[in-house]
Structures are given as C-alpha cells and as structure tokens.
C-alpha cells in the first residue's frame, strides 16, 4: 500500500471544490455554451454521478492530479465539472476555466483553417503542397527496414489532402520504435526537426525546409502514419493567407467564435490558470513536471513550460495550443452545427460533412475507425467496440486530453487532464463510455 499523500484526503478536497466550483462554472459557462438542466437535454443527473465517481477514483489512485469534464447536448452544457488539483504543490484546486495544454487537439483547428482557405478557392485538396511550399517538392521515400538510409524518388507529390489525412509519409520523431520508423526518427533528430512539444527556436516555415531534406516514411497516399503533416499545414496557412498562424487563428477563428482563452503562448496572469503537468514518480504516484525540466526519452522530447517560457515564435499547427473546456466546446459545437455558431459561419455544412467522413479509403486507424480531414471517425461502432453513432468523430492530445462529437446524438464530450504518459487505466476513453450511459431519451 502506498503511503498517504496529498491525494488521500478527498474529503477536504471535495469541500474546497464545492466552494469554488459554482463560481468557476458560472464564469466558464458565460464564456462557453449555454447551460441547461441535464434532464431537459435527455441526460440523467443520477447517471452523470458516474462521471464524478470515475474521475474521483482516478485522482484517489494518483492516476491524475485533476481534470475538467464537459458534456453538452443539443447545443447546451449538461455537465461541466472540475476535479482535483490544478497544482498540488501550490494548493490550487482545478476550476472550470483552468487552461490546459491541448497538444494534438490543435490539429482540428489547423484543419479548419485549411478548409476555410479551401472554401475561398485558394487550392484544391489534390493539389501538391509543393505548389505553395517548394521545399517539399520531389520527395524521396525510404526503401529499407534495416537502418540504412537508402531512398528513391517518390512516384508522386504530397497532396494537401494527404497532409490532412496523415497519409503523406511524414511521421513524428517520437514514433521511431523500430525499422523504418526508427531510421526516420534518427534522421529527424539529425535534421533538428521538432515535434512541437518543447521550446523550439525559429518558425514553422523552418520545419518544412528540414522535412524536405529527409526521406518520407512511405510513398504518399499508400499508408496511414500519424505525424507532423498538420504542422506543415500550419505553414501552408501562413503562405496562402499572408498571416502568421497565430494571427490567422485569432482573427479568423478564435475572435469570431469567442474563444478568448485559446492561444499558442500565455502571458501573466493567464499563466497562473495553466494546470501543471504530472509524470509518474518512483513510488507509483505522480510528481509535478518542473518549469525548467525537459524530458528526453528516446526520440521523445517534451516540456511543460513551452507555452510561457522560450522563444515564443514557433506556431505548431499540430501541438501548439492551450485552451479551456468551455472554449473548445464552442469550436466543437460549430462543427456539430455544420460550420456555424451564434450567427458566425466559418464553414459550409458540405465542407464539415467532407471533413468528418472517411478520407483514407481502405486504410484504417483501428477496427471500425477511419480518418477524415482533421479527425478520426468511428465508421462502425460495433467493430470499434464503442457506444455512439456511425460518423462520430474524435481526437485527443499528448498530455491526456480527449474530445468526441456524435452528430447522431447531438452530443459533445471533453475530458482534459495533464499527465504523460497517458494513464494506464485509459481514463479518457472510459470517460466516453460514462458520458454515453447518461443519455436516457
């Protein structure tokens, strides 16, 4: 049995949260979607208590330090609740408007920006990206699994659609476990390619130049491999729009959607609202990742402070944003509404439909699962072994975050916590199951 620590006395923590939750939820709700009684949305208050039990147990077991959970249906929030601590060492409880590193939940925002420009007629999805980023022209493809760096010319160019669907042949360095992937990971390291999870010098345009100097993992369009493709799309947005990615996001997406807490980099006092990152300690519990600490494990490099310490010039379209549950719910509701929220239209319904259907053909990201233009898509819930409707789309982030949108149920779920590696108990996936079981109509 582990010695009792800061996680054990849940009674006092519950009392503290009881004092802050109401005001924090009111603040976050004012910034986010309107709230409603769960029963008015076909959701059971009694069954929503299972969400609390699930997350409280994970906190008591030191799987996470804290979390924020949000469930919305038919455009209104049925459940918005903070749990545990945002910063244990400083004694700061989690609040509904706590800011989180959302990492790869940045990708749908960048994909949205790309599709907004696509709707304006700037390019076709099957256009080669080299039309706008010449450094990525004439790609080469790695040919061997034995660690050699032999490469041949690719049969075709990388298209914008292949970048959106992660079928471009561009990988992540931290995916380099064996064979070709390990070779690519070493080449990425040698070229100074950042995965966007730590302090990074320069600008996102530098990434395209470096990626253009190394081979692809496979022939474009022939496989699925999650990677830096969406960071390249961030550079594409800059080239096509003539704006820095942060500027485009703020002016064209965040301000129109009233997402006031979503940024690449934070200034004081918002840094005080940023939850701490936790990593496993040597006794089976958690410890806080220090601001001056960078973790290097194999080809993986990450820190918890790159959003407020460092050069602040590298806008990672794949991993760079911070946000709140209420802010991100507004983004997801816009997609669920077919591209519009509160009278602001960013996309047409036909474009949203295109983004959320299978874009990878016979390829797969898992049983019953495909990938669209920015999201994974549950094509067959039975094969995937998950509740919900065909066409549900979702994704998550490096620091243990997750969202899903079910158009058939009009349902949105968001789970935000901050730890790496992600909890072994798959809490964020179990949250999805518990969210669905609360629907009773």
Q: What pLDDT, on a 0 to 100 scale, did the predictor assign at position 19?
A: 39
CA–CA dist 266, 324 (Å, integer)? 13
The answer, yes or no, to whether residue 299 has pLDDT greater than 70, is: yes
66-87: pLDDT as tens digits: 999 999 999 999 999 999 999 9
89-100: pLDDT as tens digits: 999 999 999 999
The answer, yes or no, to whether residue 342 has pLDDT greater than 90, is: yes
Of 164-178, 221-235, 374-388, give the lowest mean pLDDT range.
164-178
Cα 363 to its chain centre, rounded Å, is 22
Q: What is the mean pLDDT of residues 295-321?
A: 97
Q: What pLDDT, on a 0 to 100 scale, did the predictor assign at position 25?
A: 46
Q: Which of 413, 411, 418 is nearest to 429 (CA)?
A: 413
Is the CB of residue 119 less than 8 Å from the CB of residue 195? no
Of 140-154, 342-356, 383-397, give the lowest mean pLDDT range.
140-154
Q: What is the mean pLDDT of residues 283-311?
A: 96
Q: What pLDDT, on a 0 to 100 scale, did the predictor assign at position 163?
A: 98
Q: What pLDDT, on a 0 to 100 scale, did the predictor assign at position 54?
A: 98
Q: What pLDDT, on a 0 to 100 scale, did the predictor assign at position 30?
A: 43
Q: What pLDDT, on a 0 to 100 scale, did the predictor assign at position 23?
A: 47
146-181: pLDDT as tens digits: 888 999 999 999 999 999 999 999 999 998 878 899
Better-scored residue on pLDDT, 141 or 8? 141
Q: What is the mean pLDDT of residues 223-249?
A: 98
Q: Which of 222, 244, 224, 225 is nearest to 234 (CA)?
A: 244
The answer, yes or no, to whether residue 32 has pLDDT greater than 80, is: yes
**Are β-strands 392-397 and 376-378 bridged in parallel, bridged antiparallel, or unpaired?**
antiparallel
255-264: pLDDT as tens digits: 999 999 999 9
Q: Which of 397, 416, 417 is nearest to 278 (CA)?
A: 417
Q: What pLDDT, on a 0 to 100 scale, did the predictor assign at position 28?
A: 42
Q: What pLDDT, on a 0 to 100 scale, did the predictor assign at position 177?
A: 78
Token pair, residue 28, equals 């976050």
3-state SS of 182-217 is: HHHHHHHHHHCCCCCCCCCCCCHHHHHHHHCCCCEC
| Helix %, strand %, coil % of the chain (to 5) | 35, 20, 45
Which residues carry out catalysis? 104
User: 176: Cβ–Cβ under 8 A, 6 or more apart, which residues?
Assistant: 182, 183, 184, 185, 186, 188, 298, 299
Q: Taking all residues of the chain, what is their mean pLDDT, rounded to a whole number?
A: 93
- The 3-state DSSP class for residue 243 equals coil
Q: Which of 265, 370, 305, 274 is nearest to 379 (CA)?
A: 370
User: 231: Cβ–Cβ under 8 A, 6 or more apart, which residues?
Assistant: 196, 204, 207, 316, 317, 318, 319
Q: What pLDDT, on a 0 to 100 scale, did the predictor assign at position 375?
A: 96
Q: Which of 406, 405, 404, 403 is nearest to 417 (CA)?
A: 403
Residue 280: which pLDDT band, with cuts at 50, 70 and 90?
very high
Residue 423: which pLDDT band, with cuts at 50, 70 and 90?
confident
Q: What pLDDT, on a 0 to 100 scale, did the predictor assign at position 27?
A: 46
Can you list the domains of the chain with their CATH numbers?
10-98+324-437 (3.40.710.10), 108-242 (3.40.710.10)
Instruction: Tell me: cis bond preceding 178? Omega within 30 of 0 counts.
Output: no
Q: What pLDDT, on a 0 to 100 scale, did the predictor assign at position 264?
A: 98
């Amino acid at each position: 049995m582990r010695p009792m620590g800061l996680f054990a006395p849940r009674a006092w923590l519950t009392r503290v949260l009881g004092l802050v939750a109401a005001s924090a939820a009111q603040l976050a709700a004012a910034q986010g979607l309107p709230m409603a009684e769960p029963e008015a949305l076909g959701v059971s208050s009694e069954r929503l208590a299972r969400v609390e039990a699930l997350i409280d147990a994970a906190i008591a077991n030191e799987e996470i330090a804290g979390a924020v959970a949000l469930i919305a249906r038919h455009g209104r929030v049925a459940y918005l609740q903070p749990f545990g601590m945002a910063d244990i060492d400083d004694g700061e409880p989690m609040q509904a408007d706590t800011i989180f590193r959302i990492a790869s939940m940045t990708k749908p925002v960048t994909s949205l920006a790309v599709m907004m420009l696509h709707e304006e007629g700037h390019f076709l999805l099957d256009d080669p990206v080299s039309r706008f980023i010449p450094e990525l022209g004439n790609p080469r493809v790695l040919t061997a699994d034995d660690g050699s760096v032999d490469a041949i010319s690719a049969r075709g160019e990388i298209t914008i659609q292949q970048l959106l669907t992660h079928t471009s042949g561009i990988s992540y360095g931290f995916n380099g476990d064996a064979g070709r992937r390990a070779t690519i990971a070493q080449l990425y390291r040698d070229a100074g390619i950042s995965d966007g999870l730590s302090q990074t010098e320069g600008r996102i345009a530098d990434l395209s130049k470096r990626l253009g100097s190394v081979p692809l993992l496979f022939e474009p369009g022939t496989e699925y491999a999650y990677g830096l493709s969406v960071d390249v799309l961030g550079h594409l947005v800059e080239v096509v729009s003539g704006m820095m990615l942060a500027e485009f996001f703020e002016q064209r997406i965040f301000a129109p959607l009233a997402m006031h807490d979503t940024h690449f980099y934070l200034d004081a006092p918002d840094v005080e609202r940023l939850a701490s990152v936790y990593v496993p300690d040597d006794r089976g519990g958690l410890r806080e990742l220090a601001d001056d600490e960078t973790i290097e494990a194999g080809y993986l490099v990450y820190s918890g402070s790159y959003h407020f310490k460092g050069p602040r010039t590298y806008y990672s379209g794949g991993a760079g944003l911070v946000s709140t549950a209420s802010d991100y719910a507004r983004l997801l509701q816009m997609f669920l509404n077919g591209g519009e929220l509160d009278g602001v239209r960013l996309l047409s319904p036909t474009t949203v439909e295109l983004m959320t259907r299978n874009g990878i053909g016979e390829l797969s990201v898992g049983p019953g699962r495909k990938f669209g233009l920015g999201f994974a898509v549950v094509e067959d819930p039975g094969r995937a072994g998950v509740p919900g409707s065909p066409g549900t789309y979702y994704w998550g982030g490096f620091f243990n975050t997750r969202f899903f949108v079910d158009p058939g149920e009009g349902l949105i779920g968001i789970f935000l916590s901050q730890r790496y590696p992600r909890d072994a108990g798959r809490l964020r996936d179990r949250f999805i199951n518990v969210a669905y079981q609360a629907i009773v109509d």
